[in-house]
Amino acid sequence: MSEDLTPETTTAQPLADRGSNRSQRPRSAEFVRFITSGWGERPSSTLERSPAAEHTAARRAALSAKFPGERLVVPAGTLKVRSNDTDFRFRPHSAFAHLTGLGVEQEPDAVLVLHPVEDGTGDDGSGHRAALYIRPLAGRDTEEFFSDSRSGEFWVGARPTLEDLETLTGIRTLHLDDLPDGLAKDVGEGGVQVRVVPDADEAIEELVEQIRATEAAGQRDDVLAEALSELRLVKDAYELEQMRLAVATTIEGFEKIVRSLPDAVAHRRGERVIEGTFLGHARQEGNAVGYETIAAAGEHATTLHWTDNDGQVRAGELVLVDAGVEVDSLYTADLTRTLPVDGTFTEVQRRVYQAVLDAADAGFAAAVPGARFRDVHSAAMQVIAERLAEWGLLPVTAEESLQPENQHHRRWMVHGTSHHLGLDVHDCAQARAELYLDGVLEPGMVFTIEPGLYFKSDDLLVPTEYRGIGVRIEDNVLVTADGNENLSAALPREPDAVEAWMAGLLGR
């Protein structure tokens, strides 16, 4: 190292400022004058009220009833660094999306606040009045317009105005600069208490902590997160419409996956061909994938969350694909199919597949109003244990294995059978166990049914013919007044139907 580059003689430029060294943006007064002048009128906004707005108002009113007299702070979140000074694509926090109806990449740094008012005088007769704080479109006479790579119009496009978002959401919309005063109003000893959604936006959490430093102790932000999660256990009409859209769009993606299988077999990383096919579809037809796609061929299918997707796809083997499209409203499907790569199941593959399908059907039979969520899993496990016992794989009877103190059958299916589904692929995750695992099923609940069997290639407790086979079948179910509806029924699941479907798509 030359002498002028030693630590003792390096430049005094702060480390945080050095990312701009690549920039050659002019800074002269004449440039600023010139770039901020000569612009025509912006076109009039064509935004209309979102179809979600009516439903989000009802959701906010339901939340209001749980926290009378308290200020509730729900941040959208902020951009997150992917590497150095490049960010991941923004996705708002699910609670923020649920209460505002804003999806896709709307609206980084925004904060929804439910301000307490005299009961009955708030929005829709509630005890709160909602306010949406955003950073609005900057004028073209400002430096932000051309120099701010994070929010400037020249860099990321025009942001919405306050009026735009108020029209879209039906929520009173204010400048983000007004947030500190709005949060601090009437806070203090014996005054308004403030709750903030934890882990959504660190800067907003710090601001709230500063404001309530003089407030009586005992704030419980986790209770707010819990309430927001439980608010989503039963979906409203708009949510069900979006779930149907997400499922239908995902099924279209599975069709494209089947058509891509010859290319996948020909490629050294065929799993990536499958993943890329679905990702492209999700971005074209929706917002993104709802979670990282699992494209697990052969032995990889025995790894529950295989997302490396760097393996080969070989004829004669199975490929387990677990994928879901997240539509623009941010609702996601979550489907899994295990497909014979060459379009035809072998006898052993079909045997394992049928066992898993029978377990899934038992789960569907249990998913009815009045049953408990855990009953779905129990029904599926009854079939899994019985089938493993028939095959001679259990060291005890199926009945003995099903006892809580045993559970031998779970060696080959260590995951649960179901999870709630919606804005998050694992929706309502902060709900209390008595409302989730032990919750009574109600019409409007949406969840997965996804049993599986996974026989690793080095599992010495199973016959050789089973080793390296992994099968999971996952559908999305809606509980109805008189039973349930398989939202993903259009995606074939019976083995004969799967083979016929694949043959049609592959032109065979």
Summarised one tens digit per residue, pLDDT across range 264-299 is 999 999 999 999 999 999 999 999 999 999 999 999
Say if CB 174 and CB 132 are below 8 A apart. Answer: yes
pLDDT of residue 245: 98
pTM of the model: 0.94
Q: Which amino acid is at 378?
A: S
pLDDT of residue 214: 58
Residue numbers of the chain with a pLDDT score lower than 70 = 1-11, 214-219
Count Cβ atoms below 10 Å from residue 287 Cβ, excluding itself.
Answer: 21
Q: Which amino acid is at 164?
A: D
pLDDT of residue 120: 87
What does residue 173 show for φ and ψ, rounded to 5 degrees?
-120, 130
Nearest residue to 450 via CA among 482, 422, 480, 488? 488
pLDDT of residue 10: 58
451-481 b/e (C-beta count within 10 Å ≥ 16 → b): bbbbbbeebeebeeebebbbbbbbbbbbbee
Rounded Cα gap, residues 484 and 236, in angstroms: 16
Say if CB 111 and CB 74 are below 8 A apart. Answer: yes
Tell me the three state secondary structure of residue 253.
helix
Rounded Cα gap, residues 43 and 50, in angstroms: 20
List, for residues 375-409, the tens digit of each pLDDT value: 999 999 999 999 999 999 999 999 999 999 999 99
pLDDT of residue 218: 44
Count Cβ atoms below 10 Å from residue 184 Cβ, excluding itself.
Answer: 18
CA diameter of the chain: 86
pLDDT of residue 9: 53
pLDDT of residue 385: 98
